[in-house]
Amino acid sequence: MRITGVVEGFYGAPWSHQQRLDWIDRLHRWGMTHYVWAAKEEPRHRDDWREPFTDAELDGFAELAGHRTGVDLAVGLTPGPEATAEDVMAKLGPAVDAGAAVVVLSCDDLPALDAGGDHRDLAHALADRLGCTVWIVPTHYCGVDDSPYLRSLCNGLDPAIEVMWTGRHVVNARIHASEAARWAELTGRPPLVWDNAPVNDGLMREALHLGPLTGRDPALRDVCAGVLWNPMEFALASVATMASAAAWVRGDDPVAAWADEVAARGWAQLAAATAFPDDAHWPGTNPDRAWWRAMHDGLPERAVDAGLDESVQPWIDAAREGAAIALAAIALADRIHERGADTGATLRQFGLTGRWRDWRRNPVLTFGAGPRVRPVLTQDQRGEFVGDPAAFVLDDPIVDDLVRRALPS
């Protein structure tokens, strides 16, 4: 693969300039090639796309572009439906002058399935007149079906222009080489994969994705132009999954690399607490008292002390409280087993239930809580989104069964 790295392409608070520099340092250490500036809530990326980049933004692009040899800067833009080539060149030309090696036409999530030919012509104009590499995120960007949009986009599209693809779905548990080969047939070039992992934006904001990269076919490395991973808005918490992705790129064991990373950072308990039953690091459905004690005692008290983003604190608080409730439920169930239900258990049951009820109302998900909703969507032969049952997971957290055992039956 020629292209690897991160695409800061999530919906949510963008990273700071220093966080971007830090990420370029990591990409350099891992031997990755690109950082892509394309956060949806950067105002001049999408909502205010016509506004020229500020002097501060252009200075920032220059520093990002020159920070590490071998890690190129790509700058994305989502132009409006009325955009002309002159509009887009006027906007992106200064970014190229500042050092951007790549410009990205981010046409994803737009009501523009009739604009394939326009997007092709715009990509050609940028490549011809700016003299830089051009990538495009098409409006039809996932699935394995053709569509009128894709046919219009790719009819005569310069082979040097990369066409990005998220996989069969917007968010994928697995991406197979055969699916990538099908996308290559449709577009006439190997796909540049925009892998939506470990991102937790939109429908997934209640989840924290600290797990390893799994389900990526090793053969993808032979059939793709590259892979760019879309991280969380939590710049520090995204490191664990990306260390796993870097191992996958090298051909090493991504789960083993992830385990080493979270162990070294002291994140193993939090990663387990925020896992889901379909994750490789899921602790199982019946952990014992010793596991819950180790979980509670091993969780950090403060995110910043554990080298995590301050915004991760709600998951730490929820995990600590969930583990404490689990331990209290186990102790109460043991008391009832030893002494019977009529020996002072009732008030403890009410207290446990109130605490559990408050915890279940927490807006963040821990210990497998649901409902979990994800954009497991594909696009059909018209380019329209189609849902999948895997988008909706209604599991109860593993704390619940322990509490029920401590209540009257």
Print pLDDT tens along the chain (409 aa). 999 999 999 999 999 999 999 999 999 999 999 999 999 999 999 999 999 999 999 999 999 999 999 999 999 999 998 899 999 999 999 999 999 999 999 999 899 999 999 999 999 999 999 999 999 999 999 999 999 999 999 999 999 999 999 999 999 999 999 999 999 999 999 999 999 999 999 999 999 999 999 999 999 999 999 999 999 999 999 999 999 999 999 999 999 999 999 999 999 999 999 999 999 999 988 899 999 999 999 999 999 999 999 999 999 999 999 999 999 999 999 988 888 766 677 888 999 999 999 999 999 999 999 999 999 999 999 999 999 999 999 999 999 999 999 998 7
Q: What is the reported pLDDT for 343?
A: 66
Give dist(CA 345, CA 323) in Å, integer.
Answer: 20
Q: What's the pLDDT score for residue 324?
A: 98
Considering only the top CATH level, what class is 3-264?
Answer: alpha beta
Residue 207 — left, alpha, or beta (φ > 0 → left; ψ -120 to 50 → alpha)?
A: beta
pLDDT score for 274: 98
- Helix count and strand count (H, E) for the chain: 14, 12
Query: What contacts 325, CB < 8 A, 6 or more positions away?
Result: 352, 355, 356, 359, 399, 402, 403
Which two structure tokens, joined as six digits, stand for 373?
């909703």
**3-state SS, residue 117:** helix
Question: What is the 3-state composition of the chain as percent helix, strand, coil, each rounded to the nearest 5?
Answer: 45, 10, 45
Which pLDDT score, from 0 to 100, does residue 346 have?
Answer: 85
Query: Domain residue spans in the chain?
Result: 3-264, 289-405
pLDDT of residue 285: 84
Q: Which residues pair with 372 in a beta bridge?
A: 393
Q: What is the pLDDT of residue 325?
A: 98
Residues 6+ away with beta carbon under 8 Å from 213: 197, 229, 241, 244, 245, 248, 254, 258
Enter the tokens of residue 87.
Answer: 């509009």
Give residue 94's Cα distance to chain centre. Answer: 29
pLDDT of residue 337: 85
Q: What is the pLDDT of residue 284?
A: 87
- Beta-bridge partners for 393: 372
